[in-house]
């Protein structure tokens, strides 16, 4: 079972027509976009989004991404994308659950891992920058 994390943010996504294939099912690659929407909402909730990250001197590239498809989403379907913060002190790990908004049926599970890279030196950091850790602690207590 995946960790629920220390906090989560739910984001509603409505499947647009341009995300579906000829079978009326969301093309698998577009799920990554839905994860990004939820990840941005989580970072906004923390008060340390990508703009703040860049301003503090760090980029946060994704170094690992895992997805498990359970059921394909279709055009017009309303989805809930839950992003749960799992790790933040040495890397940023987020678990995701995409479910049907109306029924709660699980559609997709995923996780992403990001690491801090100092923009000036392009060096990967072995620990998350203090400014990011402080932002998380400010929200979770």
Residue-level pLDDT, tens digit, the chain, 141 residues: 577 789 999 999 999 999 999 999 999 999 999 999 999 999 999 999 999 999 999 999 999 999 999 999 999 999 999 999 999 999 999 999 999 999 999 999 999 999 999 999 999 999 999 999 999 999 998
pTM metric for this prediction: 0.94
Q: What is the CATH architecture of 7-140?
A: Roll (3.10)
C-alpha to C-alpha distances, 77 to 5, 14, 81, nearest whole angstrom: 27, 6, 12
Q: Which residues of 57-71 are buried (b: 16+ CB within 10 A; e: fewer)?
A: ebebeeeeeebeeee
Q: Of all residues in the chain, what percent are helix, strand and coil, respectively (each to 5)? A: 30, 40, 35
């Amino acid at each position: 079972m995946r960790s629920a994390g220390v906090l989560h943010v739910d984001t509603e996504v409505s499947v647009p027509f341009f995300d579906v294939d000829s079978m009326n099912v969301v093309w698998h690659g577009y799920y990554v976009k839905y994860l990004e929407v939820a990840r941005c909402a989580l970072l906004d909730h923390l008060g340390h989004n990508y703009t703040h990250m860049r301003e503090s001197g760090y980029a946060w590239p994704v170094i690992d991404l895992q997805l498990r498809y359970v059921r394909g989403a279709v055009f017009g379907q309303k989805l809930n994308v839950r992003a749960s913060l799992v790790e933040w002190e040495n890397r940023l790990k987020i678990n995701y659950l995409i479910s049907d908004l109306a029924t709660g049926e699980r559609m997709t599970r995923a996780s992403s891992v990001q690491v801090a890279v100092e923009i000036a030196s392009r060096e990967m950091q072995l620990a998350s920058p203090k400014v990011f850790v402080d932002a998380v602690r400010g929200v979770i207590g």
